[in-house]
Copies of this chain bind each other. A is one copy, B any other.
Amino acid sequence: MFFDSFDSAQLESQLSGDRFTAVYRLFGNENTARSKAEDICAEQTVEFPVKLLPKTIAEKITGTIENFEKESEGIYRAAISFAEETAAVEFTQFINVLFGNISMKQGIQLVSVIPSKKILDMLPGPQFGISGIREITGVPQRPPLFTALKPMGLSAENLAELAAVFTQGGIDIIKDDHGLSDQVFAPFEERVQRCAAAVKEANVKFNRKAVYVANITAPFDKIIDRAYRAKELGAGGVMLSPGISGFDSLRKMTEAGLPVFAHPAWMGGMAMNPMQGVSCGVLYGTLMRLAGADAVIFPNFGGRFPLSHQDCMDIVTESRKPAGTLRPMFPSPAGGMELKNIRSMIENYGSDMLLLIGSGLFSCGDDILENCRKFIESAEGC
């Protein structure tokens, strides 16, 4: 009626038939959940009353409910597939189909993503991954030791001194705190130059292979420049908070050729509601890995943040599970971890993780070198 000139044969000829799938948890009784599933099919694609659509669009462009089942009382689970062409070979539009408009609806949680082949071709994932970072740092088996340069307010020179001490002390990866960007008291250029040089010098002096990771979360038009500049200045990795700068900035930034450490800042609100949003596993696991993160920092249960044990296990599973050609990504539980947490972290996650202890390396004693020694001892003792 409205679309007389629509050419259904042309549309059909443009579709490969390959589809990607998203799994949603839907809250409510069976009828409510089923109508949420049906709603997702249209809301995420055509945003149009299905009964008014041309038949081919209704059948091929709206999502298809592939499976619908009860998970427990009041919780259902729907697997919905979408023609891969709806995502336009763009990570941004892929994210929009998965959870764009329905992010504003209640009782819908995105809990699993199964990309199609074309989506995976577009998103090759980690360039280095677990084995790459192990090779760079020369740590074949135990969890590499990871810490952060802080607090904000120190000068670039102060931070570089700390970086040298951590290197001497045996820490494998030393990153900027995620709040260090380009502040007047520790400007990006000077900080990265000094910290990279300090780690390099200490590596030579103490026969170490420590890596300095520069935070490059930055204005839209400076992210890529900072990634390349960090590399030039000798950083061994870069960190980005894609909640702030967008997942696709992470994908693009991998082109600088350094290992990428993803930080969860800002996007927590998406995952803090058990009945809505995006599950921790998808947000910090699946999407970070698809974006190309080599390691993901996430707030571990039992620290300063309220994630559950299951949330964390889901992140770790999504980070490391076999997934076609995607390399495994290092999970890095963090957020208030102390030396006393190391045993349970290793028991929970095994040794394929980064042990990130930040301020906990200061609070366990007055002598940083001695604290580093305890850190190594705790990690090797497990």
Contact = CB atoms under 8 A, between A and B. Distances in A.
B93 A217 contact: yes
A66 B272 CA distance: 27
Contacts of A157: 5
A351 to B, nearest CB: 25
B270 A181 contact: no
Nearest to A177: B47
Nearest to A371: B2
Contact of A52 (B86, B183, B363): B363
B276 A269 contact: yes
Interface of A (DSSP majority class)? loop
Interface string A246-281: 111101100000000000111111111100111000
Interface string A47-77: 1110011101100110000000000000000
Interface stretch (A132-140, A196-204, A218-226): A218-226
25 contacts: A2-B368, A43-B304, A46-B153, A47-B151, A47-B152, A48-B359, A52-B359, A52-B362, A60-B153, A61-B152, A85-B185, A86-B179, A90-B181, A90-B219, A92-B217, A92-B244, A93-B179, A100-B241, A104-B299, A104-B305, A104-B335, A105-B304, A105-B305, A244-B248, A273-B277
Contact of A265 (B57, B101, B181, B183): B101
A10 to B, nearest CB: 7
Given A47-B179, A181-B93, A106 B155 contact: no
